[in-house]
Amino acid sequence: MCWAIGTLTVLGVIIGATWALPRKDVAIPDDDATPVEVVRAYVEALNARDFATSNQLWSPPQSNGLFSRPGGYENVEITGVYVDDDLAGWERTINVALRHGPEDGAELWGFWLSRRDGDGAWRIVAQGVA
């Protein structure tokens, strides 16, 4: 009986660790990538559990780790790109709006991006209901 509990425990740890591992590596977009390209890379990295990439696409970088459980995105459709200068603390931001989720319950969501160091790469600075 003891060996069965031990075996199940080891099996559970192996399955849990396998689930937590990144599913693939996603490249960080070049510094000249558009806000839409950055959002697409972020969504791909988050869905692949590539937190090394998804964390770096935020300013400041996020801290998702191996056992984090951030939500994923499915059936993503970009619905618009807007200049939004009303985000406090940022000179100029771009809002990339999208729809994601099942067709019968799609959620509207948005990512706000600003250029790192004023004229560097676009990075996500906020997200929320679009």
Q: Where are the alpha helices (DSSP H) in the chain?
A: 2-20, 35-47, 51-56
pLDDT digits (tens, 9 = 90+) for 28-71: 999 999 999 999 999 999 888 998 999 999 988 888 765 666 67
Q: Look up tokens 């599913």; give the residue.
A: 23
Q: Tell me the sheet residues that pair with 124.
A: 58, 113
Per-residue confidence at 13, pLDDT binned at 50, 70, 90? very low
Residue-range domains of the chain with CATH: 39-63+70-129 (3.10.450)
- pLDDT at res. 101: 87
CB 54 within 8 A of CB 43: no
User: What does DSSP assign to residue 59?
Assistant: S
Higher pLDDT, 5 or 32: 32
Terminal-to-terminal C-alpha distance of the chain: 54
| Residue in 20, 21, 10, 64 with CA at minimum distance from that of residue 42 | 64
List Cβ neighbours of 33 (8 Å cut-off, separation of 6 or more): 41, 121, 122
Q: Which two tokens stand for residue 10?
A: 């080891």
> Rounded to whole angstroms, how far apart are CA atoms 46 and 28?
12
pLDDT digits (tens, 9 = 90+) for 59-115: 888 887 656 666 778 889 999 999 877 666 676 788 999 998 887 888 899 999 998
